Amino acid sequence: MSKNIKTISNPKIKLEVLTQDDVKKIHEATLQIIEKVGVRFPSKRALEIWAANGADVDYEKKIVRVKPQIIEDAIKKAPPAYKLAARDPQQDLQLDGNHVNLGTDGCGVEILDINTGEKRTSCLQDVRDIARVADATEEVAFHWVSLSAQDTPVESRGLHELKAVWENSTKHVQTESVYNVEEAKAAIEMAAILAGGKGNIRERPMLSLMQCTAPPLGHDGGSLDAALLAAEVGIPTGFMTMAACATTGPITLAGDLAVGNAEVIAGTALLQLAFPGAPVFYAAAQTASDLRNGSYTGGGPEDFLFGAATNILADFYNIPLSMGAFATGAKEPNWQAGLEGGLSSFMASVVMSDMLLGCGFLHGSRIWSFAEMMMDCEIFSIVHKMMQGIVVNEETLAMDAIAAVGPGGHYLGQKHTRKHMRELFMPQFMDRRPYSEWETKKDDARDWALAKARKTLKEHQPDPLDAKISAEFEKIIKSVEKK
């Protein structure tokens, strides 16, 4: 365990949602899709890389069709494991298949104000506050830039957000809010300053980049160009598919997996063809669409199954995975939010997804809630505990204690109990009080979680970022802002 970070490792629970044969079928379908149907790459640079590597490129439609061998060879060049560096090296994270690292959710548009509880448009101060609270929790291992700083200029917004997180936390930062060339160049400059030079980024990447694919079977031009710039300098870069059954993907789960896989694998292959060995990751937040209003469900049984299936695919390609979890459609922290957070995080953790996104959001990744964040952290802790499984040995069989207590009596007075009692899970937000106490107070998890966030925000002081670095960041940001 790194300093102040709780990650899941050495899992004792296993789950096989896809057999090796299933994986093979999905892989073959994927290669066939990329070869026959093609994938859209609306970026001049990307199309040129494909053409130079023997792909069939339709420049007018910007669709690329690629022979399986080219894809398979390219994917093999991707490193299977690497680390995400943090400002505090003791908080570096291993993406090695044996760690599940929790991140916050990202890029939301509104927030339930921590003081008034009212829903309002997100701003830069919110990004700072969330980073600070996340810095203090041991569950959050890295940040996704949580909200859009809508009080900053559009053209530099993604950079203001990055600066805000680095200034308020020593943990690794991942962004999905940098999706054009200008901002990507500036973000790389910032990462270079933190690493002590552009050449050191590969060794100490304190920034990673997540780009969405554009399902079905496409990519976004700005995202592609940003990803290529990042991959070139060794910033870990991933493509996330959100192919959703019925709208942007086939209605059947296997078909949806194949479409999403084709997007991610084609994008990943592009990065490897351009920069062999660049650190890349698979990212996914596949789900179903609601049949009545088309909304992105971000929960429900299909979503949970995707959570467990995707790491099996990522393992097959031998690259780390960032898996979307906790995305609930609930409008406030309630039954639905708890259910969706619990099952989605469990299913994605049990297969050892390297990165688990993202705590804190309501309403389909749109509204931030500090209470939700804290309760999601507790859910992660519960999953963390469950993944340790049941240890069976002489000590845990407790034969001496059993003999000492005998039939009848109790175990409260046993040394064995005292020795192991702290191994039991101690919830922070579960109500186990007498009914009468609840009746007089009528409070619950939401109140306690919010109170904890408020206290943390008031008290926690993260190690500050060197003022000189802040000033340099400021200069970089100014340089991309319109005069």
Applying CB under 6 A, the span of 212-220, 344-352, 425-433, 444-452 interacting with ligand B1M comes to 212-220
Closest of 203, 208, 148 to residue 172, by C-alpha: 208
The token pair at 426 is: 């101690």
* 88 lies in the binding site for ligand B1M (CB under 6 A): no
The amino acid that residue 31 corresponds to is L
* 328 lies in the binding site for ligand B1M (CB under 6 A): no
Contact 239, 263 (CB under 8 A): yes
* 369 lies in the binding site for ligand B1M (CB under 6 A): no
Q: Which residues have C-beta within 8 Å of that of residue 388, sequence separation ≥ 6?
A: 12
Nearest approach in angstroms of CB 110 to other proteins is: 8
Q: What angle do CA 178, 184, 189 make, to 5 degrees?
A: 125
Applying CB under 6 A, the span of 21-29, 79-87, 94-102, 209-217 interacting with ligand B1M comes to 209-217
Q: What angle do CA 190, 195, 200 make, to 5 degrees?
A: 115
R_g of the chain computed on alpha carbons: 23
The amino acid that residue 204 corresponds to is R
- Partner in contact with 211, chosen from ligand B1M, other proteins, none, beta carbon below 5 to 8 Å by kind: ligand B1M
Closest of 74, 36, 460 to residue 266, by C-alpha: 74
How far apart are the C-alpha atoms of 221 and 325, rounded to whole Å?
A: 26
- Partner in contact with 402, chosen from ligand B1M, other proteins, none, beta carbon below 5 to 8 Å by kind: none
Among 70, 109, 123, 246, binds ligand B1M (CB under 6 A): 109
Nearest approach in angstroms of CB 214 to other proteins is: 5
Q: Which residues pair with 57 in a beta bridge?
A: 64
* 223 lies in the binding site for ligand B1M (CB under 6 A): yes
Among 35, 220, 225, 256, binds ligand B1M (CB under 6 A): 220
Nearest approach in angstroms of CB 375 to other proteins is: 24
Among 55, 71, 95, 107, binds ligand B1M (CB under 6 A): 107
Closest of 294, 369, 295, 304 to residue 339, by C-alpha: 304
* 347 lies in the binding site for ligand B1M (CB under 6 A): no
- Partner in contact with 103, chosen from ligand B1M, other proteins, none, beta carbon below 5 to 8 Å by kind: none
How far apart are the C-alpha atoms of 361 and 105, rounded to whole Å?
A: 6
Contact 357, 324 (CB under 8 A): yes
Nearest approach in angstroms of CB 154 to other proteins is: 5
Q: What is the dihedral of CA 197, 88, 162, 47, to 10 degrees?
A: 50
The amino acid that residue 37 corresponds to is V
Closer CB to other proteins, residue 222 or residue 338? 222
Nearest approach in angstroms of CB 122 to other proteins is: 8
Residue 113 DSSP SS3: coil
Binding mask 168-187 for ligand B1M (x = CB under 6 A): --------x--x--------
* 108 lies in the binding site for ligand B1M (CB under 6 A): yes
Nearest approach in angstroms of CB 51 to ligand B1M is: 24
Among 41, 142, 275, 296, binds ligand B1M (CB under 6 A): 296
Residue 78 DSSP SS3: coil
Closest of 256, 283, 287 to residue 356, by C-alpha: 283
What are the helix (H) ranges across 1-87?
A: 20-32, 44-52, 68-76
Q: What is the DSSP string of 147-173?
A: B--TTS-GGGHHHHHHHHHHHH-SSEE
Applying CB under 6 A, the span of 79-87, 106-114, 317-325, 454-462 interacting with ligand B1M comes to 106-114
Closer CB to other proteins, residue 218 or residue 341? 218
Residues within window 275-294 making contact with ligand B1M, judged by CB under 6 A: 293-294
Nearest approach in angstroms of CB 366 to ligand B1M is: 5
Match 């927030």 to its residue by tokens.
111
Q: What is the DSSP string of 345-361?
A: HHHHHHTT-SEEEEETE
The token pair at 74 is: 């390219």
* 214 lies in the binding site for ligand B1M (CB under 6 A): yes
With 0-12 / 13-18 / 19 or more C-beta atoms within 10 angstroms meaning exposed / middle / buried, residue 149 is buried
* 222 lies in the binding site for ligand B1M (CB under 6 A): yes
How far apart are the C-alpha atoms of 93 and 84, rounded to whole Å?
A: 5
Among 212, 288, 359, 362, binds ligand B1M (CB under 6 A): 212
Contact 319, 281 (CB under 8 A): yes
- Partner in contact with 246, chosen from other proteins, ligand B1M, none, beta carbon below 5 to 8 Å by kind: other proteins
Match 């990650």 to its residue by tokens.
7
Q: Which residues bind other proteins (CB under 8 A)?
A: 109-110, 121, 148, 150, 154, 157, 214, 220, 222, 244, 246-248, 251, 289, 291-294, 366
Nearest approach in angstroms of CB 247 to other proteins is: 5
Closer CB to ligand B1M, residue 92 or residue 176? 176
- Partner in contact with 121, chosen from other proteins, ligand B1M, none, beta carbon below 5 to 8 Å by kind: other proteins
Interface positions with ligand B1M (CB under 6 A): 106-109, 148, 176, 179, 211-212, 214-215, 220, 222-223, 242, 248, 293-296, 364-366
